[in-house]
Amino acid sequence: MLLHTLILNTALSLFTPQEITDGKQNDSAEAKAVAGQSLMKSVFDRFHINYEMSRTHKIGYYKESMSDADAIYYLADGIVDIYIPSNLNQIENASISPIKTRKKAFKEVKEENLLFGNASDMARSSVWRPNSFLSEKNRTHYTFIYQGDTTIDENDVSIVAFEPSSKSHGEAVGKIYVDKLSFAILKIDYKPIVHHSKYWSKVSWIEEFKFRNGAYELANVKFHGISIENDVQYDAILVMDQLEVLSRIPENETYIRENVSLFEKADEEFTESFWEGYDFLKRALTPNQQLISKK
């Protein structure tokens, strides 16, 4: 019997058969909460075993767009240089700088409405991001609830929903997808609570992890947000699971990073020559990740 099944069965055994067959919702919810908490304890206990700990340097792909009720009116994408600090480093931020970028606006876009810094925020996963809901100091503010099983890329996965344990604590709700064998997180689908935001009416994130070079790494990130003003929709993706360009940076080596706007010097022409030298990256992108230019 797999450990996750044993955990759930143990939780269910806390209640009598009659209570279970009666379908008492409170009992069922409590059993799932016990199972969820137990699963997540196994996840947290294996953080330092499962995830890449070194500083890493990658080349990836970033895309963002803005749209209203009628159509997309701003598109931008680029091949980017990505620096991710050691996961034990809770002070240094991830850094993304442009290698090749392009953009197109189909109507006037106010500069202050663009997603400055969003790509760098996306490069650091919730597993290690300071002040994340999964951080050691914040995870106690959440209730984790077992919600069944599924598969991701042929891996058997347990689904754990999470929500704040009280109204005064917690900043997100969502689902965590946990590999049954390794207890590594393969996917997080969550929504920050933005009731008091002056800008956002809705925000959602999806983070996907892949096993690479002996450890799990953040591979793909999706962001979706709707602004309070004019219901403008923002979408962005960051793809960085390309093996060909991944390297670990020893802690005693200096890595020079540039704090540069991604699209300040972007090309406004969309041609196939953009991918010259980076065909491997284009081939790796799925159709919904690639930028589709509008004529």
pLDDT in tens, 242-264: 544 456 666 656 665 655 678 88
The pLDDT, as a whole number, for residue 129 is 82
| 292 domain residue, yes or no | no
The pLDDT, as a whole number, for residue 57 is 82
Boundary of a domain, candidates 27, 45, 63 = 45
Same domain, 26 and 110: no
- Give the CA dihedral 106, 112, 114, 115, nearest 10 degrees: 180
| 170 domain residue, yes or no | yes
C-alpha–C-alpha distance, residues 179 and 43, integer Å: 9
Same domain, 60 and 40: no
Residue 116: give the domain boundaries: 53-284
The pLDDT, as a whole number, for residue 228 is 87
**What would the 3-class secondary structure string for the chain be?**
CCHHHHHHHHHHCCCCHHHHHCCCHHHHHHHHHHHHHHHHHHHHHCHHHHECCCEEEEEEEEEEEEECCCCEEEEEEEEEEEEECCCCCCCCCCEEEEEEEEEEECCCCCHHHCCCCHHHHHCCCCCCCCCCCCCCCCHHHEEEEEEEEEEECCEEEEEEEEEECECCECCEEEEEEEECCCCCEEEEEEEECCCCCCCEEEEEEEEEEEEECCEEEEEEEEEEEEECCCCCEEEEEEECCCHHHCEEECCCCCCCCCCCCCCCCCECCCCHHHHCCCHHHHHHCCCCCCCCCCC
C-alpha–C-alpha distance, residues 222 and 233, integer Å: 13
Residue 23 has pLDDT above 70, yes or no: no
Mean residue pLDDT of the chain comes to 80
Strands 200-212 vs 155-164: parallel, antiparallel or unpaired: unpaired
Same domain, 152 and 41: no
Same domain, 183 and 259: yes
| 290 domain residue, yes or no | no
Residue 237 has pLDDT above 50, yes or no: yes
| 68 domain residue, yes or no | yes
Percent of the chain with pLDDT over 70: 77
| 293 domain residue, yes or no | no
Same domain, 177 and 230: yes
Same domain, 162 and 25: no
Same domain, 16 and 146: no
| 289 domain residue, yes or no | no
Same domain, 86 and 223: yes
Residue 283 has pLDDT above 80, yes or no: no
CA distances from residue 171 to 39, 131, 141, 142, 232 in whole angstroms, order as listed: 21, 10, 9, 9, 23
Our count of domains for the chain comes to: 2
| 291 domain residue, yes or no | no
Same domain, 205 and 77: yes
Model confidence, pTM: 0.82
The pLDDT, as a whole number, for residue 249 is 64
The pLDDT, as a whole number, for residue 38 is 95
* 19 vs 231, higher pLDDT: 231
Residue 68 has pLDDT above 50, yes or no: yes
Residue 73 has pLDDT above 60, yes or no: yes
Same domain, 90 and 135: yes
The pLDDT, as a whole number, for residue 287 is 63
Same domain, 182 and 210: yes
Same domain, 175 and 153: yes
